[in-house]
Structure 1
């Protein structure tokens, strides 16, 4: 059945994949973001934008590690979204969250502020009366190039174990939930392989011909020490995707 779907944050890394996947399946998709003139902090405008929508998928994000900034953004945006959904009798709300959102609000190191924001978001969504789904995923493969804009990431992040997932698989999972709703907090979704962020950076820089000798020595030193922290990977039963980081990277480098 053809559905009318609104994707909040539809112009972002994951949002574009969701919009594409929904369109491929024949759904009517509305990509809502600042670039399309929709500010979720403007309740009147948001309410108007959600008219006649069946399902809302919220993949909004903010680039910050500051607890106050993240918490304010996710709390206020989620409250506005819920109000706009209630005004339009939305049938299903889907939020893309992050694995270990609750525990990492306290234990997530430098990024615990961001996790605190996601925890606040989950609390708003799970306490409302609109049928809701919270889908928690690990970091995306694109997390590597996103963090290389200003050189190598800090050592604390490079020391973290990852289980990166593919955005196309996450998008497919989310549209599956639109077509066949499952409500509540779902099992975590993660990639098929555990790998340190240092190794991911090394592999990426090598494959894209950006690796210099200084960075290689530094990254291999971190990898050889094997003093990795494991706060970003799933701790309990989870669903694993099929696309490995190296598969994603091969596709990226082949198509460029």
Structure 2
């Protein structure tokens, strides 16, 4: 099977490409660095020509008010090019609970991306994931200094990038869902507890201070980002991932 992976050089994309190739598929990574710009369409027709499946893992450089525009334009460009190339299946990676956090532009953008994909004529699959383990350090860096780390007690159910890639690769090769698959890690944590676990594992003695107004996740209410009952739960725990 020939599979074009847009955003194929990133955290998830590079893993997806490696997994697909390991399973004998003709998987090709495309990104700005390979000359494919999904926003302008440059290089896109050539990238997906002859592809049975396109996996779209692209994201904007900024998580600000421009995110919804990015996701709309890139998804519309991809749908048009994919129809011209007679692609049989499009897979995107979205976010669990994105529609529950309208105050975060990036999350609004993912909702827009989903809506555009659903409105197209090509069979589709949406994989909604919770936050990646690999993202926790960046979250902590937004609201930390030399003396402390400030975090809200927002509930998260994070998942390892390796597990996300494995599931996305599986969806790409088993046919269109024409629906949504939610995936998450096996454990739910308040974000401040995740911060303490992370610092302890790294021998960092800074305290974590609960601050309801700190960072992006201060906009999240209740269990908005927790997977639903029918979600697929990965096996890797956060502490296992930290120990590797």
- The alignment's TM-score, normalised by the length of structure 1, stands at 0.83
| Residue 120 of structure 2 corresponds to residue 122 of structure 1 | no
CA distance in 1, matches of 2:2, 2:202: 39
- Which consecutive segments of 4 or more residues in structure 1 shift more than 3 A? 148-151
Aligned-CA RMSD value: 2.3
| More helix by percentage | 1
After superposition, the Cα gap between the structure-2 partners of 1:41 and 1:63, relative to the gap in structure 1 and judged at 3 Å, is closer
Map of 1:68-217 to 2, 5 A cutoff? Answer: 68-105=65-102, 109=103, 112-149=104-141, 152=144, 155=150, 158-209=152-203, 211-212=204-205, 215-216=206-207
CA distance in 1: counterparts of 2:26 and 2:152, whole angstroms: 40
Report how far residue 179 of structure 1 moved.
Answer: 2.1
Match of 1:224 in 2: none
Corresponding residue SS for 2:43: helix
Between the aligned partners of 1:15 and 1:148, the Cα distance in structure 2 is 24
What SS is found at the alignment partner of 1:11?
coil
Note the C-alpha offset of 1:217.
Answer: 5.2
* Pick aligned residue for 1:6 from 4, 7, 14: 4
Between the aligned partners of 1:142 and 1:177, the Cα distance in structure 2 is 22
Q: 2:196·2:208 contact (CA, 8 Å) conserved in 1?
A: no
Distance 1:63 1:196 in 2: 27
Segments of 5+ residues of structure 1 without an aligned counterpart are: 221-227, 252-256
3-state SS in 2 of match to 1:97: strand
Residue 206 of structure 1: how far off its partner (Å):
2.1
Aligned partner of 1:43 in structure 2 is 41
Alignment coverage as a number of residue pairs: 233
Gaps of 5+ in 2: 212-220
Report the Cα offset of residue 30 of structure 1: 1.0
2:130–2:157 Cα contact (<8 Å) kept:
yes
Q: TM-score, normalised by structure 2?
A: 0.87
1:243 matches 2:236: yes
Q: Structure 2: how far apart are the matches of 1:182 and 1:243?
A: 26
In the alignment, is residue 19 of structure 1 matched against residue 17 of structure 2? yes
Offset at 1:151?
A: 5.4
Deviations 1:127-165 (A, max 9, x none): 00011111111001111123344553985x532111011
